[in-house]
Amino acid sequence: MKKRFGKRDFILIAVLLAAAFVIWLLISRTKFAKGASAVVTVDGDVYGTYPLSQNQEIPIMKDEKRTNILVIKNGKADITEADCPDRLCVHQKPISMTNETIVCLPNKVVVSIEGSTESGIDSIAK
Ligand SMILES: [Zn+2]
C-alpha cells in the first residue's frame, strides 16, 4: 500500500514548524530579558530601566525640562543631546558592557549598564 504525501501531512509539518518557531521565539525573548539594561538615575533616584535589546529614544526630564536624550540603538546606550554646558556626557562613547557608565555631572544624570551582556546577544540579533 502506497501512502501519498497528503495535505494532512503538510498541515502537520506546518503546525510543528510553527510550534518550533514559537518555542524558539520564547527562548530568545527570555535570553533578551536576561540581557543588559540601561539604568538611568537622576539626582540619585532611578528614572527608568531600559533594555538594550530594544531600540528607543528616551528623553530625560527634570522639573518639566528636558535635560538629556538617551538613545538605545543596536544594543548600546548613548546620550545624544544634553543641555548641560560641558556636554561631556554627549561626547562619551556609547556604552553596552555591564558597569559602564555615562555621567552628566551638571544634570546629575547617570546612565549605567546592568545585567550581563553575553556575547550571545550579538549572534541572536543577527
Ligand atoms: Zn552632560
How sure is the predictor about 2, in pLDDT bands with cuts at 50, 70 and 90? Answer: low
Q: Of 75, 43, 79, which Cα lies nearest the Cα of 59?
A: 79
Section 87-96 average pLDDT: 96
Buried b (16+ CB within 10 A) or exposed e, 84-115: beeeebbebebbbeeebebebeebebbbbbeb
Q: Say whether pLDDT at 12 is over 80.
A: yes
Collapsing DSSP to helix, strand or coil, 41 comes out as: strand
Spacing, Cα 108 to ligand 1 middle (Å): 8
| Residues with a beta carbon under 5 angstroms from ion ligand 1 | 82, 84, 89, 104
Q: What is the pTM of this model?
A: 0.66
Spacing, Cα 118 to ligand 1 middle (Å): 29
Section 11-37 average pLDDT: 83
Q: Say whether pLDDT at 15 is over 70.
A: yes
pLDDT given at position 117: 43
The yes or no reply on domain 36-118 and CATH 3.40.50.720 is no
Spacing, Cα 66 to ligand 1 middle (Å): 12
Domain with CATH 2.60.320.10 in the chain: 36-118
pLDDT given at position 35: 79
Q: Of 102, 54, 97, which Cα lies nearest the Cα of 82?
A: 102
Q: Which three cell numbers stand for residue 45?
A: 533616584
How sure is the predictor about 27, in pLDDT bands with cuts at 50, 70 and 90? Answer: confident
What pLDDT, in 10s, does the model give residues 53-85? 999 999 999 989 999 999 999 999 999 999 999
